[in-house]
Chains A and B, each alone.
Chain A
Amino acid sequence: MSDPNIEGFELEKGFKGMAKDTGSDQTMFKGVHWGKAMMWIFLLSDTFVFSCFLIAYMKGRSSTPAEWPNPSEVFALDAFGVPVPLLLIALMTFVLITSSGTMALAVKYGYEKNRKMCGYLILATALGGLTFVGMQAYEWSKLIHEGVRPWSNPFGAAQFGSFFFMITGFHGTHVSIGVIFLFIYCYKVFAGHYDKGKRGWFTKMKGDYVEVEILGLYWHFVDLVWVFIFAFFYLW
């Protein structure tokens, strides 16, 4: 490996070179924007939050003496009079994953300085997120209507409702926060703040399209977490 700045400079191959490169001065992750590094580390911390939730769920589910409700019955949705298991949840997952796709495209167009496309795709992502939250609200209200409460439910172990509302609620909060930021960024893109390098309202720092990518990282993370929640609640 060679450093483009230095003529004739060769880093040792293998582990030693890697260690030298990691420990070299100024930056550890070469060329990585501060904000992006921050988001990655924040997401690592947030991964621990969700892991704690899900591990607690596994422990709670396996140690409660009462019977755990059958997810394919509880989460079934009536389509034309036939109960279809996991219908709503499949739709929700589809919408959320699609919004990840539009987000990735928005990042691409952002870097190409294609303001319009970037803005529309962020808008599409935000609407996808909003749809997801809406469907989740529908699912919550349906379950509540059927008598599921955080402290009890007619199907079995009380912990089912507790964990379900807590974890999907915590995830839904993440999505909602993401949606709010998506709308703000959408406005900022359309208004051209990132082209002009306009300073932020609060932070007073210059804007740049890399912020779209940073928000994208968060959005993909929220999607990824959903896949785990989906697997743990609906498929187990």
Chain B
Amino acid sequence: MSDEHENKSGYQAQSSETIHAQSSEAITGSGSGIAPDMDYVRPAELPEQDLYHPHSFIEKWVFCQDAKVIGVQYFLTAVFTGIVGLILSWLMRLQLGFPGLAGFITAEHYYQFVTMHGMIMVVYFLTALFLGGFGNYLIPLMVGARDMVFPYVNMLSFWMFFVAVVVLMASFFVPGGPTGAGWTLYPPQTILEGTPGHGWGILLMLISLSLFVIGFTMGGLNYMITILQARTRGMTLMRMPLTVWGIFTATVLAMLAFPALLVSSIMMTLDKLLGTSFFMPTILKAGEVLEYGGGSPILFQHLFWFFGHPEVYIVALPAFGIVSDLISVHARKNIFGYRMMVWAIVGIGALSFFVWAHHMYVSGMNPWFGFFFASTTLIIAVPTAMKVYNWILTLWRGNIRINTVMLWCLGFIVTFVNGGITGIFLGNVSVDVPLSDTYFVVAHFHMVMGIAPLMVIMGAIYHWFPLVAGKMLNEKLGKWHFWITFLGAYSIYFPMHYLGFIGVPRRYYEMYDSPYMTSGVGLNEFISTAAFIVGAAQLFLVFNIIKTMKTGKKAEQNPWKANSLEWYTSTVPPEHGNFGDRLPVVHRWPYDYNVPGAEQDYLPQTAAPSEVAHTEVEKT
């Protein structure tokens, strides 16, 4: 790790340029011909960040302004909601696999479980975990900043999220219980009598979503401005780790997609509370016309999916980014096609705003719209496939360490490819119409946005735990955790494709004696058993963490021999301010592994050109 270079001649060049005013022919692709001290870094454009250090326990751990603590707070809160979501999925599987065994689960309860499970998993668990948790912890460290740019707003962001979670959880305890309208909350049924939780439940859900959006906006502004305006010297956009690119693009998507959710929540709240009819058509109930009339339920679907589809990528893009970094570190190879990876992330993000109505093929639309949205949907497969090929080519002839982190990454690739292929089925109107609302869809989205990102989260936990806690998680337990989860998750979701093909509908409490269930009964029992095992297997991680904190071996600095800045902090775990007195200066991308001629198999981003002049490292 090197410090910045003293600049003798008084002028400075953009570090990406390696410029020398007198002899510009010295600019060559490889470091070989360059005199050591010619890689000038531009002088600091930004003054030192003003940090407010905490003065009390409350300021340090509760209303903390340090992004790392906020990240951990987000992480723990999101995991709490995730556990609630997991328990709900157990209850559903109990009912589906062994109907009537748990007598207390009524049809109404089942709807409520489905709804809360879906909403919790997508919004409060995965989104908050990736952007609030990993984003807060990693962005400042990875771009070489002391903290987020607006620490106070960042703190408010977490507490707004916290209140949103409290409101959401409160809906379990109000009269009528939580809403049972499905996580898509389609009107008019959502707020009409007959749907469980059509009173308090839906109201609290809408309020909680609005709070979530407000809280997220505060955090998202921080993530974006930190990445755009507070990078350290030498950290050009094209030297940022892909993790940062993924989180950044996802944040942009969220800032543009959540408004639609906010607006639809507000409008539905008014429909519910004031009796407006934004989304409510004329409705006949038991022969009587309701007060509502003249509104458009389809409008809600458009607003919801304008949020809902980008939301899928809000979850997926950070996972793409993180997994790229993990694969590169643990295969000891540079990421294949870095620029292509960046553009694929950005391209997927942009395209994701033009595909939303593929969720509405069965709602009825002009065939030309179906044609348009099917085309855009299938076009997204192109950059996505590019990413998959690049991951595989990164692994190709790499020096792969088959450790727990790598296993999770491989698990991710497999599940993601599986879910992606079924996505191509569902993107086609004529294939989607019969498969819509069957278990095929359930299998598809769990594979692609449930299990695949979860694999990345697990890998990321094993990867960054030594940084956050300063101790190494146990590998053996980790492998047990992986194999049971991976094989178990496959046992849950792979058979669901078949259930979908034979026509089992989703969101059904009970299949009764329908003809297709003769072959489905055994499968359902098998799936449920697997679900219980997978859920329980997560205790391996809990146990691993407890054991590690008690007796685990202390992590050395940079245990994985990685290049990116988060491993080069002044202390482990990093303190407030991250980098000691001087911010690091960056001279290369974070993927220089196994460079011919170098003593070690990795070159930190901070390694100065003079240190690597004898190697064959490429200019980045």
Contact = CB atoms under 8 A, between A and B. Distances in A.
Contact of B233 (A26, A66, A163): A26
Contacts of B264: 52
Given A32-B229, A41-B221, A60 B238 contact: no
B232 A28 contact: no
Contacts of A23: 16, 236-238
A208 to B, nearest CB: 11
A80 interface: no
B36 interface: no
A41 B225 contact: yes
B291 to A, nearest CB: 7
Interface stretch (A3-11, A99-107, A220-228): A3-11
B21 A26 contact: no
Given A59-B296, A162-B278, A205 B152 contact: yes
Nearest to B41: A25
Given A24-B237, A28-B229, 4 more contacts: A24-B14, A49-B263, A150-B276, A205-B152
B314 interface: no
Nearest to B306: A52
Contacts of B46: 26-27
B351 interface: no
Contact of B255 (A37, A41, A52): A41
B11 A6 contact: yes
Interface of B: 10-17, 19, 21-22, 41-46, 50, 52, 149-150, 152-153, 217, 220-221, 224-225, 228-239, 255-256, 258-260, 262-264, 266-267, 270, 274-278, 291, 293-296, 299, 302-303, 306, 586
A46 B294 CA distance: 28
B502 to A, nearest CB: 38
29 contacts: A6-B12, A6-B14, A9-B14, A9-B17, A22-B237, A23-B236, A23-B238, A24-B236, A25-B231, A25-B233, A26-B45, A26-B230, A26-B231, A27-B46, A27-B228, A41-B224, A45-B258, A48-B255, A48-B260, A52-B260, A52-B303, A52-B306, A59-B296, A151-B274, A159-B276, A162-B277, A162-B278, A166-B276, A202-B152
A64 B295 contact: yes
Contacts of A24: 14, 16, 42, 236-237
B13 to A, nearest CB: 6
A187 interface: no
Interface string A155-193: 001110111001000100000000000000000000000
Closest 5 CB pairs of A and B: A8-B21, A48-B259, A162-B276, A52-B263, A23-B237
A111 interface: no
Contacts of B293: 158
Contacts of B236: 23-25
A56 B278 contact: yes
Contacts, number: 179
B42 A5 contact: yes
A56 B303 contact: yes
Nearest to A34: B149
Contacts of A49: 259, 262-263
Given A5-B42, A37-B225, A25 B296 contact: no
- Scoring A38, A45, A205 by chain B CB atoms within 10 A of each residue's CB, the highest score goes to A45
Given A25-B42, A204-B152, A206-B50, A158 B19 contact: no
Contacts of A170: 266
Nearest to A62: B296
Interface of A: 3, 5-9, 20, 22-32, 34-35, 37-38, 41-42, 44-46, 48-49, 51-53, 56, 59-60, 63-66, 150-151, 157-159, 161-163, 166, 170, 202-206
A60 B237 CA distance: 43
Contacts of B232: 25-26
A45 B296 contact: no
Contacts of A38: 149-150, 221, 225
B84 to A, nearest CB: 29
A24 B16 CA distance: 7
Given A150-B274, A158-B294, A25 B586 contact: yes
A23 B220 CA distance: 20
B97 to A, nearest CB: 41
B468 to A, nearest CB: 26
A220 to B, nearest CB: 19
B267 A166 contact: yes
Given A23-B238, A25-B235, A42 B221 contact: yes
Contacts of A60: 278, 295-296, 299
Contacts of B296: 59-60, 63-64
Contacts of B237: 22-24, 28
Contact of A166 (B152, B230, B266): B266
A159 B229 contact: no
A6 B13 contact: yes
A187 to B, nearest CB: 20
Residue of A25, A53, A56 with highest tally of chain B CB at under 10 A: A25
A118 B44 CA distance: 32
A5 B263 contact: no
Contacts of A66: 294
A3 B14 contact: yes
A6 B19 CA distance: 9
B299 A59 contact: yes
Nearest to B260: A52
Contact of A203 (B152, B234, B267, B299): B152
